[in-house]
Amino acid sequence: MGSLLSRRIFNFMDHCLYCTQAARSEEHPLSAALGEFKNAPTLRDRICRDCNGKRIGLLDEQLVRCGPIGVLRKQLGIEGRAHHDKVNPFYRGSAGGQRLKFFTRDENFGCEVLVELTGRGQGRQLSQLILKGQEGPLHHIPLTATTTIELLRKQIAELKLVAPLEARLIFDPPTEPWAADLFKQLWPDRELPESTLGADRFQGGIVQIQVTNRYFRAIAKTGFHYFLTQFPNYSGHEAIFSDIREFITNDERELVAARINRFVRVHNKPIAPIAPVLAHLLCAEIREGVCLAHFEPFITPGSRLRAFAIYLGVDPAMTDYAFRAHGHFYYAQGKNGRYSGEALEISRDQLDLEETSFDPVIEPAAKVEP
């Protein structure tokens, strides 16, 4: 009775895991914004189109744009599907998460400036207004072609700066003349700064990120959906998964760190060995009845993010050990048609999964907003 292979559910429920609508969609456990991978497992007919496109999609938006995964995605130049909206996360946040703020020192200006990462170790200065009051720190306001003078005045007023103000405008005059127009509308009698472009090389920098509970719920969703693709004897509707389903979908409940850490934790060391090419790792396992998933994003020859462990539920009837894993490997030469790479099965002996307990993903005393 405890063998995974001996248990079967003959009639999957035909409604969505997260609502009462019919489950008629195909969902990628690994967000398609990280690329499509040939032979990657997909979850078929377990989620309705609305949940797949809105409720679940909202979580993925924050995951791939606002946190550490978003930083590496831009640094490495990873692109998703061609038809997806292009959002520059250094100018705008997504799904409640804040925009990425990458500060580096510009020796030409003698101050910090905001920079956006453009892929392959390259970056460029944002179009921005840098302000300083009579005392206090510098304030950086990103500018885009859609920035209105009303919005800009409101942003400046909220800073409550004490005059006289120091102002510097960074923009590319040939391609961004609208930035000069904004400056002139703010201060008609003030001349544009003599230098609008700074240094062309930077050494390092500091990234500031701010995410909400959606970031961690997206990680939980990724692990849960991958687990269901690998162990089809589970439909995902079982009572043992009721808590993880509620955690993934509840967008109104305030989530304290303790609740997030109940479902999402981190390994204290990498799971996968250093890969010669860029990859993501997804694993699913059952240990003494505990259903787990693991997600290690952006395995690179250089920097590594910590691997996540996701607690899904407990099935006392399952006594046998079971394990599945896929590495999602990017093609070294870039995209090949619709595919960014290929998903390959990986055996457990290729990975380091000896841990039996995991570290909190956020500090237990912290409080995370919805």
Together in a domain, 173 and 290:
no
Note whether 163 and 244 are same-domain residues.
no
Looking at the structure, tell me whether residues 174 and 225 fall in a common domain: no
- How many structural domains compose the chain? 2
User: Are residues 180 and 120 located together in one domain of the fold?
Assistant: yes
**Nearest-angstrom CA–CA distance, 1 and 4:** 8
Share above pLDDT 70 across residues of the chain, in percent, rounded to a whole number:
91
Looking at 176-212, list the stretches that DSSP marks H as alpha helix, in order from N- to C-terminal side: 177-186
- Claim to verify: residue 141 and residue 241 sit in the same structural domain: no
Please report whether residue 114 resides in a domain.
yes
Q: Tell me: the pLDDT tens digits for 253-299? A: 667 888 999 999 999 999 988 777 789 999 999 999 999 999 999 99
The predicted-structure confidence for 26-82, as pLDDT tens digits, reads as follows 999 999 999 999 999 999 999 999 998 888 888 999 999 999 999 999 988 888 766
299 and 216 in a common domain: yes
How far apart (Å, rounded) are the C-alpha atoms in residues 122 and 120?
Answer: 6
pLDDT in the model for residue 238 = 96
Dihedral pair phi/psi, residue 68, rounded to 5°: -55, -35
Same-domain check for residues 247 and 179 = no
Q: What is the pTM of this model?
A: 0.90
Same domain, residue pair 275 and 160: no
Q: Quick one: 232 and 170 in the same domain?
A: no
Per-residue confidence band for 11, with pLDDT thresholds at 50, 70 and 90: very low
Nearest CA to 342 out of 296, 278, 271 is that of: 278
175 and 221 housed in the same domain:
no
- What tokens appear for 182 in the block? 């904004």
Q: Looking at residue 243, what is its pLDDT?
A: 97
Q: Note the pLDDT of residue 5.
A: 41
- Is 29 inside any structural domain? no
Nearest to 74 by CA among 45, 99, 38: 99
What is the residue range of 269's domain? Answer: 4-11+212-368
User: Is-contact 198 124, C-beta < 8 A?
Assistant: no
Residue 2: band (very low, low, confident or very high) from pLDDT cuts 50, 70, 90? very low
Residues 219 and 237 in one domain: yes
Task: Between 203 and 329, name the one with better pLDDT.
Answer: 329
pLDDT digits (tens, 9 = 90+) for 141-188: 999 999 999 999 999 999 999 988 899 999 888 889 999 999 999 999
